[in-house]
Amino acid sequence: MGTVASVHVYDNVDASHADGACHAFMAVMQELEDVFSTFKPASAISRINRGELDIAGADPIVSDVFDACTWLDHSSGGAFRAHRPGTATLDPAGFVKGWAAERAAQQLTAAGLQHWCINIGGDVLTRGAPAVGVPWRVAIVDPHDDHSIIATVAITSGAVATSGLAQRGAHLWDGRDGSIANGAASVTVVGPSLTWADSFATTVYAMGAAGIAWLTRFDDYDALVVTNAREMLTTPGFTAPTCGVERITL
């Protein structure tokens, strides 16, 4: 999926048990990479794009992913789209990364682990806490200065996902017209599920600042948008402390 994944375990268990759970997590990630990667010629997505395979003939999880992508497309008025601009090429990366990480994380739960943190390309899924009474603290990079932190989020058993310019530059598009999305510098979404926090962050980024109002339809999800003018716009439930940037609560 063109990124790096890491797992951090804070349970009081034998190292071999934790290692086994982490290896199981990575194995599932690899299996899903082999299905959904747009970089691997033998993946199901690559074969579908070459006309060698139909979605209906692929693993059922492919249909599940594209059903979710179709729902996001309709809900966002086309801002989220799992096709590359101007082509019929399928690219579900805006949804599948968070979904895959959350699906693979079931291996950690199945192994009885209760306190862990997954980081996949800067998006984070947590369970439990790193210590009694201590939440996970997730930093949000300033999209205008990737050596600075613009805010931190304290969470227990939740997800934080960011879409923007800090790590990969201009790589997201607005599905409504196929243009490179540039209505915001970054969007961070916090909520219970990484599947939806990640895909909502991508969608709001494509929509720009107007996407904040769209996100408020979904209970338990909140967002921080850093604009190109270095303002911070937030949904009412976003309570992260800020660092030196004007914050406007809508």
Q: 92-107 pLDDT, tens per residue?
A: 988 999 999 999 999 9
Per-residue model confidence (pLDDT) at position 166: 55
Q: Mean of the pLDDT values across residues 180-202?
A: 91
- pLDDT exceeds cutoff 90 at 20: yes
- pLDDT exceeds cutoff 90 at 83: no
- pLDDT exceeds cutoff 70 at 43: yes
pTM: 0.91
Helices and strands in the chain: count of H runs, count of E runs: 7, 10
- pLDDT exceeds cutoff 90 at 65: yes
Q: Mean of the pLDDT values across residues 165-188?
A: 71
Closest CA to 93 of 6, 186, 211, 202: 202
- pLDDT exceeds cutoff 80 at 175: no
3-state secondary structure of 71: helix
Q: Mean of the pLDDT values across residues 78-89?
A: 86
CA separation, residue 166 to residues 10, 107, 158, 169, 213 (Å): 29, 30, 22, 6, 24
Per-residue model confidence (pLDDT) at position 183: 77
List Cβ neighbours of 179 (8 Å cut-off, separation of 6 or more): 85, 173
Per-residue model confidence (pLDDT) at position 138: 92
